[in-house]
A = this chain, B = another copy of it.
Amino acid sequence: MSAKIPYKTYLSETEIPRQWYNMNAVMKIKHEPFLNPATLQPCTADELKAVFCEDCVDQELNRKDLYIDIPEEIRNFYKMYRPSPLVRAYCLEKALGTPAKIYYKFEGNNTSGSHKLNSAVAQAYYAKKQGLKSVTTETGAGQWGTALSMACAYFGLDLTVYMVKVSSEQKPQRREVMRTYGAQVIASPSDTTEAGRKILKEFPGTGGSLGCAISEAVEKAVTSDSCRYVLGSVLDHVVLHQSVIGLESKIALEKYGEQPDIIIGCCGGGSNFGGLIAPFMGDKLQGKNNIDFIGVEPASCPSMTRGKYAYDFCDSAQITPLAKMYTLGCGFMPAPNHAGGLRYHGMSPIVSALYDQGYMRAVSVEQTKVFEAAEMFARIEGILPAPESSHAIRVAVDEALKCKETGEAKTILFGLTGTGYFDMSAYKQFNDRTMSDSIPTDADLAQGFATIPDIPLNK
């Protein structure tokens, strides 16, 4: 059969999913709700709608509909870059000499360079539908900001992006792409917000963090009526939009009668991983498969493997609702020599719950090992991967090599979330052999944990 499977499988445009897949509907134990930090009561829809777009809030709180319709306008945008290819990694399999069958779903063939566009389009559409004039967001590595710039240009929305300062300096090209799409890009922390000014005063030399950029973007959004904040990961509605990745993968694999034994994705905020696994995990939750799901995070920002499962703020200025999630503490900042993205202190509540309930594993990997895998993959498979995506490559390669030892012909699916074209300063470090790992000590972690709020629910 395998000889008939092409290198790349593109579904037809009519096969682009018409509905997203909502894992919440099939979770027996639902994850804890967001809390209002002042009252410690679950956030109401109205409270959330002051920050986020209406339809996104409704999706966020929807725990009963397994399938949620994708509006035609969003599907039309999807057609500009989707379906994304499901690739059979024949060359990698051969180079590794593994009996495993390796597939990857490649989300990098669009100008944002990653999967982020899947949710950016949806959120921009809903903002426009609601009659908003503008949205704000934060961006770390720049993929999310780029994706949202593209979506806002398409739907005619103004956009302000708070870009983590260190990334903005490492990646001026990303900033320029966003500007080309008409976005205003501000390095964070900035003096344009209360939150930014406060952090600048406390940590004058800081390179910023996602948590801090979120604080600034949220502040900007809640101080205007015609503006809302949009987030590129972590939240359930973002995971929902990303389920298009898993749905397309499942349709393509089923064409070949393939059922994955292992599914691997990198985990920053968790939206790519959550979206990739969604329909497969939905089946597992219903007892229909026993897939080994592996979320891969950087050793320098190990929220699942070394974090605490607790209520924490989503931002470092502590102005957002509290989320129950695996977290290193909202004040945690990864070491500056951590090169790639995946630097968020927490993990998507739904992914955290799946991990807590034992439906998936988490693995952390050091960045030099990640770049070794990235270089190998680039040379063998012909795609220069994003550092983020290379976390998944690393573990996929490790699992394939285990198969070589045991002789098992497992089917491995991993998410190749994006390309590394804007990450060449990190690659340069690797090429120059000046890259080091940056694993936080227990003392570093303790410092972060101390920023987790001291509330009764966390006792």
8 Å CB contact of A382 from B8, B81, B173 = B81
Across-interface contacts of A421 in B (CB, < 8 A): 111, 113, 173, 177, 421-422
Interface residues of A in 329-383 (CB under 8 A from B): 375, 378-383
Given A180-B431, A419-B111, check contact A379 B153 (CB 8 Å).
yes
- Residue among A12, A79, A176, A378 facing the most chain B CB atoms (10 A cut-off): A176
Q: How far is the CA of A383 from the CA of B146 in the complex (A)?
A: 12
The answer to whether A179 and B431 have CB atoms under 8 Å apart is yes
- Residue among A12, A421, A430 facing the most chain B CB atoms (10 A cut-off): A421
For chain A, give the interface size range: 35 or more
Q: How far is the CA of A181 from the CA of B379 in the complex (A)?
A: 6
The answer to whether B378 and A111 have CB atoms under 8 Å apart is yes
The answer to whether A382 and B111 have CB atoms under 8 Å apart is yes
The answer to whether A424 and B384 have CB atoms under 8 Å apart is no
Main secondary structure of the interface of A (DSSP, over half): helix
Interface residues of A in 10-54 (CB under 8 A from B): 10, 12-13
Across-interface contacts of A379 in B (CB, < 8 A): 150, 153-154, 181-182
Across-interface contacts of A381 in B (CB, < 8 A): 80
* Copies assembled: 2
The answer to whether B110 and A382 have CB atoms under 8 Å apart is yes
Interface residues of A in 106-129 (CB under 8 A from B): 109-111, 113
Interface residues of A in 139-175 (CB under 8 A from B): 150, 153-154, 172-173
Q: Is A71 positioned at the interface, with any CB of B under 8 Å from its CB?
A: no
Across-interface contacts of A80 in B (CB, < 8 A): 7-8, 91, 381-382
Q: Is A428 positioned at the interface, with any CB of B under 8 Å from its CB?
A: yes
Given A379-B153, A379-B182, A422-B421, check contact A427 B8 (CB 8 Å).
no
Least CB distance, A12 to chain B, in whole angstroms: 7
What 5 A-B pairs are tightest by C-beta distance, nearest first?
Answer: A173-B424, A176-B424, A153-B379, A7-B79, A6-B13
Chosen A-B contacts, 29 in total, with CB atoms closer than 8 Å, are A6-B13, A8-B13, A8-B79, A8-B80, A10-B10, A77-B382, A110-B382, A110-B383, A111-B382, A111-B383, A111-B421, A150-B379, A153-B378, A154-B379, A154-B380, A154-B382, A172-B428, A173-B421, A173-B422, A173-B424, A173-B425, A176-B431, A177-B421, A177-B427, A180-B375, A180-B384, A180-B431, A181-B379, A421-B422
